[in-house]
């Protein structure tokens, strides 16, 4: 069962390290084509459509959000021809981790057809000719350093002080805070569009729980009319920054990243608040060397809903993720299968057409972890890995964003399930031993500590937390029954 309201979940982003690339599969077919493949005549079009969203000149507003090299002109692309052929044949580029069965389903899909792959491979194999510039497609006018894609923002938030990313930094994860003050918004506002802007080239990822974030290739969020996120007045926003650069003297750089928001006018009709269900677990421990440690989480839609998109989230041991639907009429469907999860690409899978979920549909999220040596990203195959915010700890989340008819204007997911004590243990376990000691327990939980610590060893472990959850649930059920009985007695 998921109890998301306590999980002010950190979507801490994974370390940008070497990904294990599958070896190139069958590359080009041997078929002989009399027409030579040229850059201007064929290749440029594919690069525009599938690659330049990331491989383009590094505008100041894009920081480290773009790929290491631009592929916009022949001169830029020519030296990479062989590498391009390898990367596309192995399907490492463009990065897209969903199984092929989902092709055509998601709006932000990044995949090449077999024809496109063959084309790029043949171009490289035939010496990467330029062809005739007159055949070139019109170049795309990518946004430059000034101006926002979402238009003039109503509010731009930054973390309070600029931060200096020191010379010796290679990878750094650090948090900042911004308070949404009364002067900024005196009351909650419906958000129409969100656009992040990295403040320096050292920014690799930004996540702000509640607003989303940015990773290479992610576009700004612009909601369909009538759909909105909510920005709560007076709330603190937490910035989870991942900086990544070559360390070395003189490489230090100042950063003060920002996010621009556009609000709906107060009299505009907002039909749907987009909710984010955080399906996930806190009570796991991945043993050293495990190759297929599997966690399942279930959640049932309480009312008719429509799914907008998914964001599976794990850290460095994450291997695969799957969302399945069990419909109330007995039907079954795999909604999203990510067989080779890659922490480098924090991909949101956003539907072209929202997916209808009748009330009572059960979602099952399965996440799989590889804590063995064969996972090249694994920082320590000898460690038992538990829930935690640093990428060297793990997370098992599947975010589901959805709208629903009955709960518009109110967080449907909030208050569904009550307090989750496994989350409390995970969040407060500062000593990282998988248990909550008395001195680690948050204030309101301290008074129940003795009751929860059933084996009296001075700490609450996950089993004890689960037992306490079950007890709370029982109490709630009894209360409901008693209330129903009382109502029945009053009625009869």
Q: Which residues contact 150 (CB under 8 A, 6 or more apart)?
A: 193, 194, 195, 220, 222, 260, 262
Which of 4, 41, 63, 94 contacts ligand HEC by CB under 6 A? Answer: 94
Place of tokens 């248990």: 435
What interhelical angle do 114-125 and 81-89 show, nearest 10?
A: 150
Tell the smallest beta-carbon distance from residue 260 to ligand HEC (Å): 21
Q: Which helix or strand (DSSP H or E) is residue 445 part of?
A: helix 443-446
87 scored as a contact of ligand HEC (CB under 6 A): yes
Which of 88, 165, 311, 357 contacts ligand HEC by CB under 6 A? Answer: 88
Q: Which residues contact 183 (CB under 8 A, 6 or more apart)?
A: none
Scanning residues 2 to 31, which ones bind ligand HEC (CB under 6 A)? 19
- Measuring CA to CA, which residue among 403, 383, 397 is closest to residue 289? 383
Tell the smallest beta-carbon distance from residue 48 to ligand HEC (Å): 10
- Measuring CA to CA, which residue among 92, 99, 214 is closest to residue 150? 214
70 scored as a contact of ligand HEC (CB under 6 A): no
63 scored as a contact of ligand HEC (CB under 6 A): no
37 scored as a contact of ligand HEC (CB under 6 A): no
- Which string of x and - marks every residue 213-242 that binds ligand HEC (by CB under 6 A)? ---xx-------------------------
The residue (of 95 and 199) whose beta carbon lies closer to ligand HEC is 95
142 scored as a contact of ligand HEC (CB under 6 A): no
Scanning residues 322 to 361, which ones bind ligand HEC (CB under 6 A)? 344
Residues pairing with 239 in the sheet: 176
CB atoms within 10 A of CB 488: 9
Instruction: Name the residue whose CB lies closest to ligand HEC.
Output: 217
Token pair for 446 = 């301290």
50 scored as a contact of ligand HEC (CB under 6 A): yes
CB atoms within 10 A of CB 169: 19
97 scored as a contact of ligand HEC (CB under 6 A): no
Helix, strand, coil distribution of the chain in percent, nearest 5: 20, 30, 50
Q: Which helix or strand (DSSP H or E) is residue 81 part of?
A: helix 81-89
# residues near ligand HEC by CB under 6 A:
21
Which of 14, 44, 62, 84 contacts ligand HEC by CB under 6 A? Answer: 84
- Which string of x and - marks every residue 176-215 that binds ligand HEC (by CB under 6 A)? ----------------------------------------
Contacts with ligand HEC, residue ranges (CB under 6 A): 19, 50-51, 53-55, 67-68, 80, 83-84, 87-88, 93-95, 110, 112, 216-217, 344
């Amino acid at each position: 069962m998921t109890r998301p309201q306590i999980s002010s979940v950190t979507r801490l982003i994974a370390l940008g390290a070497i990904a294990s690339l599958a070896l190139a599969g069958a590359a080009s077919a041997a078929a002989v084509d009399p027409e030579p493949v040229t850059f201007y005549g064929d290749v440029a079009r594919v690069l525009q459509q599938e690659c330049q969203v990331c491989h383009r000149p590094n505008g100041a507003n894009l920081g480290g959000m773009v790929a290491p090299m631009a592929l916009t002109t022949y001169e830029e692309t020519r030296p990479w021809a062989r590498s391009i052929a390898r990367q596309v044949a192995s399907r490492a580029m463009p990065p897209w981790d969903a199984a092929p069965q989902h092709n055509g389903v998601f709006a932000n899909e990044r995949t090449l057809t077999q024809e496109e792959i063959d084309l790029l491979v043949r171009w490289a194999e035939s010496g990467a000719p330029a062809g005739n510039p007159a055949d070139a497609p019109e170049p795309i006018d990518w946004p430059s350093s000034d101006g926002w894609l979402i238009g003039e923002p109503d509010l731009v938030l930054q973390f309070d002080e600029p931060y200096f990313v020191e010379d010796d930094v290679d990878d750094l994860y650090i948090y900042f805070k911004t308070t949404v003050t009364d002067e900024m918004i005196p009351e909650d506002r419906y958000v129409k569009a969100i656009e992040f802007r990295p403040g320096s080239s050292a920014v690799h990822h930004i996540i702000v729980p509640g607003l989303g974030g940015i990773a290479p290739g992610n576009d700004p969020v612009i909601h369909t009319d009538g759909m909105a996120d909510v920005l709560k007045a007076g709330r603190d926003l937490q910035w989870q920054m991942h900086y990544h650069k070559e360390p070395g003297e003189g490489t230090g750089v100042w950063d003060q990243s920002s996010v621009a928001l556009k609000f709906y006018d107060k009299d505009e009709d907002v039909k749907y608040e987009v909710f984010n269900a955080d399906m996930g677990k806190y009570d796991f421990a991945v043993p050293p060397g495990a190759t297929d440690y599997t966690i399942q989480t279930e959640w049932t839609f309480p009312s008719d809903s429509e799914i907008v998109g998914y964001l599976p989230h794990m850290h460095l041991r994450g291997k695969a993720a799957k969302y399945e639907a069990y419909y109330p009429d007995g039907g079954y469907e795999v909604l999203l299968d990510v067989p080779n999860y890659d922490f480098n690409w924090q991909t949101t899978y956003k539907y072209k057409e929202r997916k209808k979920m009748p009330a009572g549909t059960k979602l099952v999220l399965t996440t799989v972890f590889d804590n063995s040596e064969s996972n090249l990203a694994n920082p320590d195959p000898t460690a038992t890995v538990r829930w935690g915010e640093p990428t060297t700890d793990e997370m098992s989340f599947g975010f589901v964003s959805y709208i629903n008819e009955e709960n518009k204007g109110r967080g449907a997911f909030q208050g569904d399930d009550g307090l989750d004590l496994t989350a409390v243990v995970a969040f407060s376990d500062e000593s990282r031993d998988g248990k909550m000691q008395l001195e680690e327990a948050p204030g309101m939980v301290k008074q129940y500590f003795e009751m929860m610590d059933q084996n009296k060893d001075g700490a609450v472990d996950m089993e004890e937390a689960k037992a306490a959850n079950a007890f709370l649930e029982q109490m709630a059920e009894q209360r409901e029954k008693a209330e129903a009985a009382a109502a029945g007695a009053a009625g009869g």
